[in-house]
Amino acid sequence: MPAAQPDAIRLRGVRQNNLKGFDIDIPIGKLVVVTGLSGAGKSSLVFDTLHAEGQRRYVETFSPYVRQFLELLPAPALDSAENVRPSVAIKQGNAVRTSRSTVGTMTELCDWFKVWFAHRAELLDPASGQPVVPQGPAAAWDTCLQAHVGQAVVLAFAVQKPAGLAWPAIAEEFVRAGFTRAFVSGQRLRLGEEAIPEDADEALIIQDRLTISTAEASRFHEAALVAFRLGGGRMRLLTDAGVEIGRFSEILESPVDGRRFRPATPALFSFNSPIGACPDCRGFGRVIGLDWKKIIPDPKLTLAEGAVAPFQGNVYGESQRDLAKACKKKGIPLDVPWNKLTAAHRRYLEDGDPTYVPGEWESKWYGIRGFFRWLESSTYKMHVRVFLSRWRAYEECPKCRGQRFREESLWWRWQGRSLPELYALPVTELRTLLRPYAPKDSRHPADHALEAMLARLGYLEAVGLGYLALDRLSRTLSGGEVQRVNLTSCLGACLADTVFVLDEPSVGMHARDLSRMVGILRSLVEQGNTVVVVEHDESVMRAADWLIEIGPRPGAAGGHLVYAGKPTGILKAKDSVTGAWLSGRSQPATRAPRPVTDTTPRLRIEGATVNNLRDFSCTLPLGRLVGLCGVSGSGKSTLLHQVIGRRDPESGDTSAQGHGKLKFDREHEEVALVDQSPATRTPRSNPALYVGAWDAIRNLLGNSEEAKAAGLTPSHFSFNAGEGRCERCGGAGWETVEMQFVSDVALPCPSCNGKRFRDEVLAFQFDGKSVGDLMAMSVTEVRVFLGGRTPASQQLAVLEEVGLGYLSLGQPLTTLSGGEAQRLKLVRYLGRLDPRKPGALLLLDEPTTGLHREDVARLIALLHRLADAGHSLIVVEHHLDVLKACDWILEMGPEAGPGGGLLVAEGTPAQVSQAGTTTGNFLAAGDAAFATPDTRTAKPRPTSISLRAPVSTTCAMSRSRFRTAP
């Protein structure tokens, strides 16, 4: 008898990071949400313990050879683990870098499209634009019935004389096979008796002769089948007298010029296959070309003034002389600015003389392109490679115009559209287009594929990504978008009995899209999986089957299991911070918005046209906390980064066009984007150094009587200089080990064990604490310990203000989460030294990411302190608590993508909540939605939209693969 399905993953004595050795059961086959304050230990439980153990057991099923390529998580600290399942992390991070990875390939939609397209597309002859339809025996019979009833016709097939064979030998073969007659050049011959003229190119061997009537249908078909087979897929229809009345071909070829085409196979419609990929760019859609903005950096210069930058200077100055010579010959003026030259002249200068062949550089103009082609032929020289790289840039592949496919693939159309044209449509539009063709109970491979396509497109829509096109490059997606795309792939893959772990899938989602997101998580559970989500969003917590809280406080004061049970139970849990918020015992602090009047200084934006913003204008108050909201993809991030921040978030390009005009009524010291990127890239930095507290601390230590007695000075306690540092790591504490295949690993220095100092410095104690002890203590603990003895305490207190008091003093800043790094960066603006200077304009993109509602309350207080200090803040945010706390709100919308880009509401939070807009309605419902008495007793509502993935062969495969896991 098979063992009963275990009901829970049992983890015993969990001690990873700050976790306090508790036991926990995680129910299998349920939607589990883990919550808690930042730094309380949620990730330590979900990712470092549950997922690490699951992944470890899963990876053990691979051979040692494969294992060396997999990034292995370290074994978690725990006593025992039972019923562990293989675990898959659906990550936010964007590991995809290749430009062949698109939304279509990530979701495997391209794999289904190529199968479906191969069956359903028709080929348009490039010579005529007419469909090429293969015509076999049935088509030939139809022609005869329409045009030749009652006539005697001859079915024949053509034989070409192969080289090296004579006609008599060929004729003999056919006679032996039972053929007796043929037409050659219109003359009827008896094979074997009458000779075929040696100069004849082909002979039409007669298969049958019959008079067309319905009674002859089966005889015609039989004869035609043989004729097609022996004729290599072609057949001729002749009159009795040998006059051709029809040609039929079962093969794909142009009736106009006889061009043969490849059959429609899935490979022809895959840009990852050499058969389908554009040969010039190998399916990447772009090639390394010339960067004309660099070659002609200033189009206002004339040729004589040096408009062509690479020709200036000594090395290639000869080309400048060749250019002048060519201009004289061709009558191109040297004293006219480049941008005033005629288009034809510019093209001539760029492309060169059309008759130029390499080597003729003395007599003909080779063109700027020709110059670079010549350079490329000698790239083995280092200085040439360096020179070339200065003028190069990626450009759209000129052969396929970025469509990635070879020309032949593009001749195939479905409803008049080529495959890349379908890939360029937004998911929602594509789905609407395909849905009418949804098959009913068909087992045709094309219908099967279409079914899978529609299901996957539906998933993408359900997670709020209907605005993406399948050809969108993966590496241009935001972290949240990547996670949601990956989520739909997992649904499509039909894994079962697997643990999926997710980190805040609600990030970047509007409240409107959240219930659909929960529906997707539910579908994974319905497929027989366990879904464990680290999440703070109330509606997701409420929808969970099982809710876990780790806490109660961050860092050392956390790491306890505060609650595990049904979501409703947490409302009464005594120590639960989450329960306090959900039940309404905790409330966000309210304050009246700072007044915005006609005299309030403003930022005026005029005529911005970027992404989905079209000639967009608006104003917003300065010196205030301003919220930018709206559904995902409505254009708020574009407004923040590209229009106000004047920076392309993808390329970092600050020179892009279309940003419109910005007019400030008031000056700013700086405009700073405070994002979630790391505060520093060097592992040497830590919280004490970042706030400048370490100098005061080492002065305190080094100037103490005990230090003097031990012969130590403040400089011995410096990380960055002096002789107190560990010799091996120079005070860094960490060594970076370069790994093959996987990303580099930072390991504690083996000499000082990560403590950064020499043994005699570490042995020194100040008031019972060594430097090593201080570095390991939390910021809060160190502040309390130091008390009034040094100004460092005040500097450290700022870290507590931004909610980072739980960090240890020596924690490398590279290990901070995105949200932690963002709050750390705000520290700089808190302590404004000179109040007479104008404040900064601070731009924040979703600062509540990863925050518990309690942490959000602290963040809001921090934002207000910044506004009080005279800074202007513009915050892109979905979190209702933040929006309610704003002085002013701008809402973008009404929809995502092309349906957005408009300002739909503006005003105080109270005004916007009455505007009847999407965000307005959520603001109006607001607290009532989670703190009313009926939610307190309500059962968690599984907001299931019941999406079922089609059963597919890949599904069965993956399942059996996963069954082999323990």
Judged by the rule CB under 5 A, the positions of this chain that interact with Zn ion are 278, 280-281, 397, 399-400, 726, 728-729, 749, 751-752
Which structure tokens are listed for 302?
């004339």
Residue 700 Cβ, how far from Zn ion at the closest point, in Å?
23
How many angstroms separate the CA atoms of 588 and 931, rounded?
12
Residue 277 Cβ, how far from Zn ion at the closest point, in Å?
8
Residue 286 Cβ, how far from Zn ion at the closest point, in Å?
8
Residue 280 Cβ, how far from Zn ion at the closest point, in Å?
5
Q: Which is nearer to Zn ion, 223 or 281 (CB)?
A: 281
What are the φ/ψ torsions at residue 672 (nearest 5 degrees)? Answer: -125, 130
Residue 409 Cβ, how far from Zn ion at the closest point, in Å?
11
Residue 123 Cβ, how far from Zn ion at the closest point, in Å?
20
What are the residues whose beta carbons fall under 8 Å from the beta carbon of 489, sequence distance 6 or more?
A: 106, 107, 108
Residue 100 Cβ, how far from Zn ion at the closest point, in Å?
12
Q: Which is nearer to Zn ion, 529 or 808 (CB)?
A: 808
What are the residues whose beta carbons fall under 8 Å from the beta carbon of 483, sequence distance 6 or more?
A: 90, 91, 92, 502, 503, 505, 507
Task: List the beta strands (DSSP E) in 73-166.
Answer: 80-82, 87-90, 122-124, 131-132, 152-160
Q: Which is nearer to Zn ion, 403 or 530 (CB)?
A: 403
What are the residues whose beta carbons fall under 8 Å from the beta carbon of 560, sequence distance 6 or more?
A: 20, 22, 550, 551, 552
Q: Which is nearer to Zn ion, 278 or 631 (CB)?
A: 278
How many angstroms separate the CA atoms of 840 and 9, rounded?
50
Number of other residues whose CB lies within 10 A of the CB of residue 566: 12
Q: Is 712 helix (H, G, I), strand (E, B) or coil?
A: coil
Class of residue 609 by CB neighbours under 10 A (exposed 0-12, middle 13-18, buried 19+): middle
How many angstroms separate the CA atoms of 869 and 605, rounded?
24
Q: Which is nearer to Zn ion, 79 or 280 (CB)?
A: 280
How many angstroms separate the CA atoms of 621 and 671, rounded?
15
Residue 399 Cβ, how far from Zn ion at the closest point, in Å?
4
> Inter-axis angle of helices 953-963 and 479-493, to 10 degrees?
90
Which region holds residue 646: left if phi is over 0, alpha if psi is between -120 and 50, else beta? left
Q: Which is nearer to Zn ion, 280 or 298 (CB)?
A: 280
**DSSP state for residue 49 in the 8-state scheme:** I
Q: Which is nearer to Zn ion, 110 or 462 (CB)?
A: 110
**DSSP state for residue 472 in the 8-state scheme:** S
Q: Which is nearer to Zn ion, 815 or 914 (CB)?
A: 815
Residue 289 Cβ, how far from Zn ion at the closest point, in Å?
11
Write down how long the chain is.
966
What are the residues whose beta carbons fall under 8 Å from the beta carbon of 786, sequence distance 6 or more?
A: 697, 700, 792, 793, 796
Q: Give the helix/strand (H/E) hosting 797.
A: helix 792-801
Residue 271 Cβ, how far from Zn ion at the closest point, in Å?
9
Contact (CB, 8 A) for 535 and 505? yes
Q: Which is nearer to Zn ion, 752 or 904 (CB)?
A: 752
How many angstroms separate the most distant Cα atoms in the chain?
Answer: 127
Q: Which is nearer to Zn ion, 762 or 885 (CB)?
A: 762
Which structure tokens are listed for 178?
């039972």
Q: Which is nearer to Zn ion, 143 or 814 (CB)?
A: 814
Residue 422 Cβ, how far from Zn ion at the closest point, in Å?
18
Q: Which is nearer to Zn ion, 173 or 407 (CB)?
A: 407
Which structure tokens are listed for 277?
């990929």
Residue 684 Cβ, how far from Zn ion at the closest point, in Å?
11
Q: Which is nearer to Zn ion, 206 or 809 (CB)?
A: 809
Residue 393 Cβ, how far from Zn ion at the closest point, in Å?
16
Q: Which is nearer to Zn ion, 726 or 883 (CB)?
A: 726
Q: Give the helix/strand (H/E) hosting 954.
A: helix 953-963
Residue 605 Cβ, how far from Zn ion at the closest point, in Å?
38
What are the residues whose beta carbons fall under 8 Å from the beta carbon of 805, sequence distance 6 or more?
A: 554, 555, 778, 779, 780, 783, 799
Q: Which is nearer to Zn ion, 430 or 726 (CB)?
A: 726
Q: What burial letters (b/e) apply to 891-923, b meaning 16+ CB within 10 Å? A: bbbbbbbebbbbbbbbbbbeebbebebbbbbbb
Residue 122 Cβ, how far from Zn ion at the closest point, in Å?
23
Residue 729 Cβ, how far from Zn ion at the closest point, in Å?
3
Contact (CB, 8 A) for 452 and 113? no
Q: Which is nearer to Zn ion, 280 or 376 (CB)?
A: 280
Q: Is 17 helix (H, G, I), strand (E, B) or coil?
A: coil
DSSP string of 725-768?
B-TTTTT--EEEEP-SSS--EEEE-TTTTT--B-HHHHH-EETT
How many angstroms separate the CA atoms of 434 and 854, rounded?
46
Q: Give the helix/strand (H/E) hosting 781.
A: helix 779-786
Q: Is the peptide bond before 274 cis (omega within 30 degrees of 0)?
A: no
Residue 733 Cβ, how far from Zn ion at the closest point, in Å?
6
Q: Which is nearer to Zn ion, 750 or 966 (CB)?
A: 750
Q: Which is nearer to Zn ion, 231 or 812 (CB)?
A: 812
Residue 731 Cβ, how far from Zn ion at the closest point, in Å?
7
Among residues 502, 407, 470, 385, which one has the least CA distance to residue 112? 470
How many angstroms separate the CA atoms of 577 and 921, rounded?
27
